[in-house]
Chains A and B, each alone.
Chain A
Amino acid sequence: MRSVENALQLEIPLNAQYIRNLIMAAHGTHDHIVHFYHLAALDWVDIVSALKADPKKASQLAESLSDWDQNSYKHLKDVQDKLKTFVSSGQLGIYANGYWGHPAMKLPPEVNLIAAAHYLQALHYQRRINMVVSILGSKTPNIQNLAVGGVANPINPDNQSALNMERLYYIKTLIDEVQGFVRKAMLVDVAAVAAFYADWTGHGKGVTNYLSAPDMPMDTKGTTFALPGGYIENADLSTFKPIKSFNDDFFKNGVKESIKHSWYKGDWNKHPWDESTDPNHTEMQYDGKYSWVKAPTFNGKPAQVGPLANVLCMYAAGHAGTKKYVTEMLNTISAVAKTKVGPSALHSTIGRIGARAVRCAVMLDECTNQWNALVANIGKGDVKTFNAPKFPSGEIKGFGFHEAPRGILSHWSVIDGGKMKNYQCVVPSTWNAAPRNGSDQPGPYEASLVGTPLADPNKPLEVLRTVHSFDPCLACAIHMVDSKGKGIVTVKAL
């Protein structure tokens, strides 16, 4: 959408920007909650161990860390009883594949019980915040309201079937409802896991060039953003260089993709506008072509993308909310670990998980900010949500970026006479899962796994922890789970 709008140099009505922003912020919050509790937590939390916990002690511990109102003895005892029933039924379902009892599991039973309780609570809250996405976007995750030039949401405060004040205040209720959980349960849980696994701040660093997009445009042209983004080289925050607008040359000229090690015809390193995608599957060639993923680079170097890159860039740019939540989290980790943990710990597997929780809180605050901006603008009498596009007869090119939950997403279009001539997406998991690039430098996954300690090489839980910390886009590749499992073991052997 943004790449086509960029090609047309089309301005977007303010309401449309705010509605899109609100959807992005709510979706980001939802996605990060689900990633931590329902996808990544079981790499660190041993649910069976929670059966041995003393719910009284667990409640005391939880209440010493946060005033979240669902940490009482009664709440935790109730969850433990449910767990007992569930485990004794002998039907663990997906949980049967968990690494429980693995020697690398280190949380005390009480912390496991608290995490299990919040795991169940998270199911409720992720659904509530996702309702914001479905109310505005008609459907989730594949929203239906986007159009080149704006959004298809009619705003009319006097009409029951349009976006009116009743809907807007319902959205506000949903946003407010999730605040307590994210701030008082999730941020604290992630900090506690990080503290008990403090050794993991030394693993999984990988590529420390960080790339992130500014997002939440606050004007019609996309020149001011609520959330900053840019590029940091070699883990040095002082090198931060911002990406400033939807027309930014630094970003536009910096992106290239190599297919030297990817299953496409040829061997080139091209700008997305000039690329092709012609599949050429070979057998596994460890020194040749070995991946469906292309290898993107930024000014010739691999870059890590995702919440960690985003948080580091926002931190370097001085974004107040990010600084607040990073400091808060590092303080909680330091208190639980009883040792001072500083920002350098973020360049790690556990840092990626911590940064995702920070970004979750930032996204949720942004829901409120964007809601306020939208309601204030409607209050001025502006109800416009769409500018109709007009396509010229010749060739035009455009690019658009978005800071998605898994990192910077960019789309590149070449349009000829109103028809798409070339369309390339450089997506977050491509940056992170990239094979070696044209200069044989490894991508973030590969680099981050080098030196990972394994307590039991036949059960490479530690490898999963690092790969999961990137939040890989798995939904599109579920059928590859088996072959990926084998691939992980091979990487270890190298």
Chain B
Amino acid sequence: MLEEYTVTILGLGNILLTDEGVGVHTVNEFQKRYVVPDYVEIVDGGAAGLDLIPFIEGREKVLMVDAVNFDKDPGFIGLLENEDIPVRITEKASMHHLGLLDVLSIVKLSGNYPKELCLIGIQPKSLELGLDMTPEICDKKEALIERVATKLREWNIPCALRSPQK
């Protein structure tokens, strides 16, 4: 049940808007490939707004993956941690930034902020309507998945590749 999880891996974004869904695609793929301990919850957060609170509030560590505007070339991957997150994300960060910032600010105000918060962001190329990501961002999927695994290991959370399946 919900209470037992202490770590969340949260994929954010709208998969109907091409690269906007990169966070969701990344964590789904990560979940397919990796085995994580029982206390780690992997969540397709979509653009769920306030409904994300239970997955952030009171957790020890939260790792988020999302499309972020870094004012860099498409495909640029950046990592924001803890205090850098609300400061660095400006208003135009992402289509659903209001939801994410809302949630983070509210969780902070209510006093149950995670001890560790990390956002793996990637500069999107397109936010147009469409189910497929652009080739430029698709090419970065491996790198993003690797970043998620690396961060978890940094946090001393074991994650191993699943045995090959038929």
**Residues on A close to B: CB < 8 A?**
34, 38, 82-83, 85-86, 89, 91-95, 120, 123, 126-127, 130, 140, 475, 478-479, 481-482
Contact = CB atoms under 8 A, between A and B. Distances in A.
Given A82-B110, A94-B98, A475 B49 contact: yes
Contacts of B99: 478
B105 A95 contact: yes
B95 A82 contact: no
Given A94-B98, A478-B98, A127 B108 contact: no
Given A34-B50, A478-B97, 15 more contacts: A38-B106, A82-B110, A82-B111, A91-B83, A93-B101, A93-B102, A93-B104, A94-B98, A94-B105, A120-B110, A123-B53, A123-B106, A127-B53, A478-B96, A478-B99
B29 interface: no
B83 to A, nearest CB: 7
10 contacts: A93-B101, A93-B102, A94-B102, A120-B109, A123-B106, A127-B53, A475-B47, A475-B49, A478-B96, A478-B97
Contacts of A120: 109-110
B98 A93 contact: no
B50 A86 contact: no
Contacts, number: 52
B86 interface: yes
B108 A86 contact: yes
Nearest to A83: B109
Interface string B88-102: 000100011111011
Nearest to B14: A478
A97 B97 CA distance: 13
B130 interface: no
A91 B110 CA distance: 14
Contact of B86 (A93, A127, A481): A93
B109 A130 contact: no
Interface in B31-66: 47, 49-51, 53-54
**B-side binding surface: helix, strand, loop or mixed?**
helix
Contacts of A123: 50, 53, 106, 110
A475 B109 CA distance: 23
Contacts of A92: 105
A91 B84 CA distance: 10
B101 A94 contact: yes
Nearest to A141: B51
Nearest to B51: A140
B87 interface: yes
Report which residue of A89, A94, A130, A140 has the largest number of chain B beta carbons within 10 angstroms of its beta carbon: A94
Given A120-B110, A123-B110, A481-B98, A93 B105 contact: yes
A481 B94 CA distance: 12
A91 B53 contact: no
B35 to A, nearest CB: 26
Given A82-B110, A93-B104, A126 B95 contact: no
Interface in B115-157: 127
Contacts of B83: 91
A478 B110 contact: no
Interface in B62-89: 83, 86-87
Contacts of B86: 91, 93
A127 B54 contact: yes
B95 A479 contact: yes
Contacts of B97: 478
Nearest to B57: A123
Contact of B50 (A83, A126, A481, A482): A126
A478 B54 contact: no
Contacts of B110: 82, 120, 123
Report which residue of B99, B104, B106 has the largest number of chain A beta carbons within 10 angstroms of its beta carbon: B106
A93 B108 contact: yes
Given A34-B50, A94-B101, A478 B95 contact: yes
A479 B86 CA distance: 19
A464 to B, nearest CB: 14
B134 to A, nearest CB: 18
Contacts of B108: 86, 89, 91, 93
B95 to A, nearest CB: 5
Nearest to A95: B105
A191 to B, nearest CB: 25
A38 B53 CA distance: 13
Contacts of A91: 83, 86-87, 105, 108
A140 B52 CA distance: 12
Contacts of B98: 94, 478, 481
A91 B91 CA distance: 14
B48 to A, nearest CB: 9
Contacts of B101: 93-94
A93 B101 CA distance: 6
Nearest to A130: B51
B13 to A, nearest CB: 13
Contacts of A95: 105, 109
Nearest to A121: B110
Contacts of A38: 50, 102, 106
A104 to B, nearest CB: 23
A146 B53 CA distance: 26
A175 B117 CA distance: 34
Nearest to B108: A86
B51 A86 contact: no
Nearest to B105: A93
A92 B86 CA distance: 8
Nearest to B97: A478
Nearest to B107: A123
Report which residue of A120, A130, A479 has the largest number of chain B beta carbons within 10 angstroms of its beta carbon: A479
Nearest to B54: A127
Contacts of B106: 38, 123
B85 to A, nearest CB: 9
A83 B106 CA distance: 11
B111 to A, nearest CB: 5
